[in-house]
Amino acid sequence: MSASIEITNVTKHYGALSVLDDISLSIKAGEFVVFLGPSGCGKSTLLRMIAGLEDVTAGTISVADRRVDTLPPGKRGVAMVFQSYALYPHMTVAQNMSFGLENIGLPKPEIERRVSQAAATLEIAHLLDRKPAKLSGGQRQRVAIGRAIVKEPKAFLFDEPLSNLDAALRGRTRLELAQLHARLGSTMIFVTHDQVEAMTLADRIVIMHNRKIEQIGTPMEIYRRPASRFVAGFVGSPAMNFVPLTSVTSNGGTINIGTSGLGDIHAAFHLPSGFSPDGASLGIRAEDVTVLPAGQTGIALKAEVVERLGDRTLIYGHLSDGTKLTAETDGRSEARGGDTLQIALDTTAIHLFDAAGTAHHSEGD
Ligand SMILES: Nc1ncnc2c1ncn2[C@@H]1O[C@H](COP(=O)(O)OP(=O)(O)O)[C@@H](O)[C@H]1O
Ligand SMILES: [Mg+2]
């Protein structure tokens, strides 16, 4: 069972503090949506307003075409998955999962049916008699999800559920969540500040910043066509490189960009009319910067730190004018800190950002 969720012109104030400003968002039934943004941007507040744990200051929220923002949490048909440390330590796994259902007076056989079905889905049936202290971190997280599943909600709400797990377990649990979503087909909203979790889990990512939604899109739309300089710098690791412009001239479908660090760059690009180089920057990802073989001349990059990741090597350096730039090259690179390397840009992969931070992309990108 899954439901659409409609957020319409929602605003949130805490006293004089304005946290969210006129947020509107339509989530489709069965969709996996991730709220992504830096700490403090209002992700948890928005999720908690959907759950009914916070009031909306203005606006409406509907679940399955029914207005819910005036209903108590238990009547909204959504279930929040809390972090695993919120399990009751003195109760067994089965008791932890059935507790909420006993509270609402569900008959015992129905509770047992739901708990055993959820335990089977999560592959924790053999753990039902254990107390949380005797479980691994990953098992505890699955019990926390089980507590939500037994409520048979129309939508699951997750607030950074993986942040307390170690790196290997985080990766595994992320995969299990994706499988669970495929199996249940439920609507899921997942809050995180981790762009890797967002990229790997989401059907669509909602990027939040400065009390607003900055962009909504599929992971690859957001990666390839970020709407703003903020999004471009926030999604992708290493972060996109930004180089200030000194001039730009447009001639039909091509442009000449002047920069002090990269020199002049010629690219196929439809520049919007009135685009000013003042305060504008060129953006390019490290993977679109090539380190040229020895003997070839391109743009000089002085390497400061070389990070070897096995399959690839990241070169953190600076251009002749001091602008920082990161290049990605293959894992067998012999570059070392202090070397001056020669690089080239893939000019089909450049982005331009105006002074207000609005993005413009190459044709076909
Ligand atoms: N109960 C509260 N009272 C006052 N301010 C709050 C309260 N809860 C959150 N805030 C503020 O609202 C903003 C958004 O918080 P939050 O939604 O928790 O951000 P996020 O989950 O994106 O890190 C922050 O500035 C935070 O300090
Ligand atoms: Mg939060």
Q: Model confidence over 136-179: pLDDT tens digits?
A: 888 898 899 899 999 989 999 999 988 877 888 888 888 888 98
Q: Are strands 155-159 and 187-192 parallel, antiparallel or unpaired?
A: parallel
Report whether pLDDT(232) > 60: yes
Q: Count, in order, helices (H) and strands (E) of the chain.
A: 8, 22
pLDDT score, position 77: 93
pLDDT digits (tens, 9 = 90+) for 194-215: 999 999 999 999 999 999 999 9
How far apart are the CA of 103 and the centre of ligand 1, in A?
30
- What gap in Å lies between CA 236 and CA 11, rounded to an integer? 29
Taking the CA of residue 208 as reference, the ligand 1 atom at the shortest distance is 22
Nearest C-alpha neighbor of 190 from the set 172, 180, 202, 199: 202
Q: Which residues pair with 216 in a beta bridge?
A: 206
Q: In the predicted model, what is the mean pLDDT of residues 245-264?
A: 93
Q: What is the C-alpha separation between 212 and 234, in angstroms, rounded? A: 15
What's the pLDDT band for 363 if we cut at 50, 70, 90? low
Q: Probe ligand 1: pick from 10, 14, 158, 212, max atoms within 8 Å of CB?
A: 14
Position 244 pLDDT exceeds 80? yes
Query: What distance in angstroms lies between residue 14's CA and the mean position of ligand 1's atoms?
Result: 8
**324 or 123: whose pLDDT is higher?**
324
Average pLDDT for 6-34: 97
Q: What is the mean pLDDT of residues 123-135?
A: 94
pLDDT above 60 for 364: no
Task: Output the CA 158–ligand 2 centroid distance in Å.
Answer: 10
At residue 225 the predicted structure's pLDDT band, cuts being 50, 70 and 90, is: very high
pLDDT digit string, tens, across residues 79-99: 998 766 688 999 999 999 999
Q: Please, are residues 33 and 197 in contact by the beta-carbon 8 Å criterion? A: no
Tell me if 39 CB under 6 Å of ligand 1. yes
| Pairing state between β 281-284 and 241-244 | antiparallel
Burial (CB count within 10 angstroms: exposed 0-12, middle 13-18, buried 19+), residue 72: exposed
Q: In this structure, which ligand is nearest to the CA of 45? A: 1
Q: Is the CB of 44 under 6 A from ligand 1?
A: yes
Which ligand is closest to the CA of 207, given by its number?
1
What is the gyration radius of the CA atoms in the chain, in angstroms? 25
More confident residue, 166 or 306: 306
Q: Is 309 exposed, middle or buried (0-12, 13-18, 19+ CB in 10 A)?
A: exposed
The CA distance from 328 to 101, in Å, is 53
Ligand 1 atom 5 nearest Cα: 14
pLDDT at 84: 61
Q: How far is the CA of 19 from the centre of ligand 2 (A)?
A: 12
Nearest CA to ligand 1 atom 12: 19
Mutation to probe ligand 1, out of 45, 56, 157 (largest number of atoms < 8 A from CB): 45
Determine the average pLDDT of the residues in 50-63: 97
pTM: 0.92
Q: What is the pLDDT of residue 211?
A: 96
Nearest one of 48, 39, 1, 45 to 19, comparing CA atoms: 45
CA–CA distance from 153 to each of 51, 64, 73, 176, 188 (Å)?
A: 11, 11, 12, 19, 10
CA 84 – ligand 1 centroid, Å:
21
- Tell me the ligand closest to 17's alpha carbon: 1
Domains along the sequence of the chain with CATH: 5-225 (3.40.50.300), 241-361 (2.40.50.140)
Which of 32-36, 128-132, 161-165 has the lowest average pLDDT?
161-165
Distance 53 CA to ligand 1 centre (A): 13
93-103 and 108-122 are packed helices; what angle lies between their axes, rounded to 10 degrees?
140
Output the average pLDDT for the chain: 94
State which residues have CB under 5 angstroms from ligand 2, the bound ion.
Answer: 44
Q: Which pLDDT score is estimated for 106? A: 92
329 near 335, Cβ under 8 Å? yes
Residue 365 above 60 pLDDT? no
**pLDDT (average), residues 282-305:** 97
Q: What's the chain's length in residues?
A: 365
Q: Judge whether 244 and 323 are in contact, CB under 8 Å.
A: yes
Q: Which amino acid belongs to residue 361?
A: H
pLDDT of residue 240: 97
Report the candidate in 130, 144, 145, 148 with the shortest Cα–Cα distance to residue 90: 130
pLDDT at 56: 98
- Predicted confidence at residue 164, as pLDDT, reads 77
Ligand 1 contacts CB of residue 85 (under 6 A): no
Tell how far the Cα of 42 is from the centroid of ligand 2, in angstroms. 7
Q: What is the pLDDT of residue 103?
A: 86
Q: Tell me, using a 6 A CB cutoff, whether residue 49 lines ligand 1.
A: no
**Percentage above 90 pLDDT, the chain:** 82
Percent of the chain past pLDDT 70, that is, above it, reads 98
Ligand 1 centroid, distance to 42 Cα (angstroms): 6
Amino acid 85: pLDDT: 66
> What is the predicted pLDDT for the residue at 307?
97
Q: How far is the CA of 69 from the centre of ligand 1 (A)?
A: 19
Q: Do 226 and 219 contact (CB within 8 A), yes or no?
A: no
pLDDT at residue number 362:
76
State the closest ligand 1 atom to the C-alpha of 38, by its place in the atom list counted from 1.
22
Residues 6+ away with beta carbon under 8 Å from 79: 148, 149, 151, 153, 155, 156, 157
